Amino acid sequence: MPDEPSGSSPRAPRDPPVPSPCPPLSRPAGPEPAPGSAAPTATAASRRTPGADVSAPGTWEGWYRTGEDGWDKGAVAPPLARLAAEGVLAPCRLAVLGCGRGHDALHFARLGFDVTAVDFAETACREARSRAAASGLALTVLQRDVFTLAPAYEGTFDAVLEHTCFCAIDPSRRPDYARVVAALLRPRGLHFGLFFRPLEPGNPPFTTDEEEVRRLFRAGFELLRLEVPPDSFEPRRGRELLFVFRRREGLHRPADSGQGT
Ligand SMILES: C[S@@+](CC[C@H](N)C(=O)[O-])C[C@H]1O[C@@H](n2cnc3c(N)ncnc32)[C@H](O)[C@@H]1O
């Protein structure tokens, strides 16, 4: 299926409001989930084929078609809605990577953001488009592999939203993913969202932690905020990291991947 850009025209670049300085990493009130405790996302993940090629759109398309899509909570992630409500960023040109059915993308479109939602699974794109149409919202949906977006979309966005895309890609591609995000953003643009730390190893969602995300994004970004949000979807509570990075002014060079430093 070809790309279907549609909706509002690009807006002039502008600096989103600067979030508060990075606060200490804080845990939400209440107990940590018990290690090994079952959660709907982990259960759905365990039904997915171990060792599946997560870099192939057909793998994800298959999971959408067979209903093995337990990541889909049917609504915007509450910590992301809260960030928007706090005014951490004003309406701007926003890319949502691995947008799925578009719940986050549509929330920000409703708030007046000029949203480009990207996913390589046909079903996800089709449903995101039809939800936008049903809601009367302008949403550009690109059926594309996020790794192919640069150079065509280089420097195009004021902000990039992350929610369960980083944990969906092959972990060996994470340095490339960090470079893609930096390339898509204009200097001082914001990369914000949620990193996920699931318990079940071996298949998506692939886990990450604070140390890894700090290391991977250090070369291209300044960390403004990193915390364990108190308002994650229930099964994910205590397992997400809410973050805001700001892209550095200087060009992000491939040699700056941050690996091994
Ligand atoms: C775990 S799902 C999350 C979907 C959505 N963010 C949500 O929270 O409902 C991961 C999504 O990323 C998409 N995806 C994975 N790798 C991708 C890639 N390289 N390019 C584009 N989309 C990708 C999948 O098709 C899937 O829709």
Low-confidence ranges of the chain (pLDDT < 50): 1-46, 252, 254-261
CA atoms within a 13 Å half-sphere pointing along the CA-CB vector of 192 = 30
Question: Tokens for 166?
Answer: 């980083």
Ligand 1 pocket test, pick from 60, 153, 207 with the greatest ligand atom count within 8 Å of Cβ, gives 60
Query: What CATH code would you report for 74-251?
Result: 3.40.50.150
Distance from residue 146's CA to the centre of ligand 1 (Å): 9
Per the rule left: phi > 0, alpha: psi between -120 and 50, beta: everything else, 236 is alpha
Interacting residues of 246 by C-beta distance below 8 A, sequence separation 6+ = 18, 188, 189, 190, 191, 221, 222, 224
Minimum-distance ligand 1 atom for the alpha carbon of 173:
19
List, as one string, the DSSP characters of 46-61.
HHSPTT--TTSHHHHH
Q: What is the pLDDT of residues 43-58, one digit of tens each?
A: 444 456 667 999 999 9
**Where do the domains of the chain lie?**
74-251
pTM: 0.83
Beta carbon of 198 within 6 Å of any ligand 1 atom: no
Q: CA nearest 166: which of 147, 151, 144, 149?
A: 147
Any idea which residue has 């409703």 for tokens? 110
